[in-house]
Amino acid sequence: MGKLPERHEVSSDLKWRLEDIYETDEAWERDLERAKQSIEPIRALKGTLTSGENLLKALQMRDEIALLMDRLISYAYMRKDEDNANSKYQGYADQALSVSVSLGSAAAFFEPEILALEEGVVRGWIDSIPELEIYRHHLENILRMKAHTLPAEQEELLAAAGEMAQAASNIFRMFNNADLKFPEVENAAGELVELTHGRYIQLLESTNRDVRKGAFEAMYNTYGAWKNTLGAMYTSAVKKALYFSKVRKYESSLHAALDADNVGPEVYHNLIDSIHDHLDLMHRYVGLRKKLLGVDELHMYDLYVPMVQDQHVQIPRKQAIEMVQAGLKPLGKQYLTDLKKSFKEGWIDWMENRGKTSGAYSWGTYGVHPYVLLNHQDTLDDMFTLAHELGHAMHSYYSDQNQEFINAAYTIFVAEVASTLNESLVMHHLLEKTTEPKERMYLLNHHLEQFRGTVFRQTMFAEFEMVVHNKIGQGEPVTADQLSEIYYELNKKYFGPEIIVDELIAMEWARIPHFYRPFYVYKYATGFSAAVSLSQQILKEGEPAVNRYLQFLGSGGSDYPLNLLKRAGVDMSKPAPIVEAMKVFEQLLDELEELSKNEIEA
């Protein structure tokens, strides 16, 4: 493992090709100037949205500038994510965000002016001017938000505050990825290695319990040393969300966050309530883990090590690619043909390097192929991460191919369906071809871990957010110690009596970047549940279900997410998909318990 390489030491064939967005930094700088010069022309449109023709012209100009900003921001931030300590690209990202905020402020009159018109007039323009048809969903969504849109002057003030409002999130991002340093810890070979975000889970998967414990303690003692600073960062982000929701006349920050997707709070509560109803399954799983690991006490640092011994699987990058492609065969030849472009055309940034943003994501810009950031470590988990992020990438690829710019961007609510469906299909493929009991147990363990991490854990995160936002929203002061207490009690509730809930886990809230996007994480759990349902349909029905699914991928953001998913074959407005996912979890758990009887007896 050793020390991390610097960015320039990583082989070019393992890096993404951001030159497909901008061939040179100078080209980016020229476009930044173009964007700055667009601010006044956009502002000059104020007061002109008085006819269908003028509305069309204004929307087209706004789209052209929005696409330009999309390219500027994606390039700047992805360059920065290559090495967060690179001051040049920190500057690029700051400049792009600043211009974006200025443009947002200049264009803040759009929605208030449209809302000042009679709804029937706007719909009449759409019906009579063919070019406005592509804006139908966009305009209907604006009309839907009328009660939460402010007069133009106030919208401009809110837009101008956008950069300042991102302060807590930006500070956390820089602190977490560039400034926070972890100590060296021992790996399984007894070597001292630098603890990093990317290596943490790998160390927790070690069969050496001292390695797991050492990494766990080093991670959370480091965060604990900064708990008050981190508490101030997070509660500031919560207060920002509460402020904007109040200004926009929402009942709560939860209502505000969900309304962007036209999703009611009952979907959020359905998820938490349904998982509460099935926590006995989680407790059973934790109990089985304790038995299979053969420990007197199960600790939080024992949750990631495979329960089935002697099955540590190293999956080199090329093998991971082959496994993903084999698992996704049910999606058809065209999907596989398009998927292969990602491996040949510079879509993927594979390896961890010093200063690189942790974790994994898919991003990009309309008109250019999507990109995937990884911190690949040759594990089974990383193979599934590859499948997951390529699900996002292919969603973007098909959306861009089938939709105009205004309708191409899909919401996070549906994004997690495409990614987790890929994981589900790959897992099904591996289980189909595996009959050897220990190998099968290893895969069942991994699949159950996907449920634990994506459904149970993200729902616990979602409940944590809800509790914290409610407390601060009711005017209660919330300190870092109180955040830790709330988080600790939720861990006890979700993991049950068979595990020692170590005190250090109370600091885990401090390292979750998604908390800086309020009420975001629940979509992982709902998306996973929808993906389980759709993958079952694809495997059982074949082509009809595949066609529905590919149509869903190509629909982008052309309709509300619940409608898109319903047409694909799953109704997320009801608890049923969550309950169905729990049934699958129970079946997997039943099989693993049965197969493990010999292991436990031995």
Catalytic residues, by residue number, are: 389
Return d(Cα 35, Cα 495) in angstroms, integer.
Answer: 51
Return d(Cα 156, Cα 102) in angstroms, integer.
Answer: 9
Cα 450 to Cα 57, 362, 529, distances in angstroms: 48, 19, 11
| CA distance between the termini of the chain | 34
Number of H helices, E strands in the chain: 28, 5
What lies within 8 Å, CB to CB, of 488 at 6+ separation is 501, 503, 505, 506
Q: Which of 452, 483, 133, 517 is nearest to 288 (CA)?
A: 452
Q: Which two tokens mark 520?
A: 């975001």
What lies within 8 Å, CB to CB, of 588 at 6+ separation is 444, 447, 448, 451
Q: How much is the CA Rg of the chain, to the nearest whole Å?
A: 24
SS (H, E, C) 320-332: HHHHHHHHCHHHC
Q: What is the dihedral of CA 428, 432, 434, 436, to 10 degrees?
A: 110
5-25 burial code (b ≥16 CB/10 A, e <16): eebeebeeeebbebebbbeee
Return d(Cα 233, Cα 175) in angstroms, integer.
Answer: 10
* Phi (first) and psi of residue 361, to 5 degrees: -160, 165
Amino acid identity at 315:
I
Return d(Cα 534, Cα 528) in angstroms, integer.
Answer: 10
How many other β-carbons are positioned within 10 Å of the β-carbon of residue 119? 13
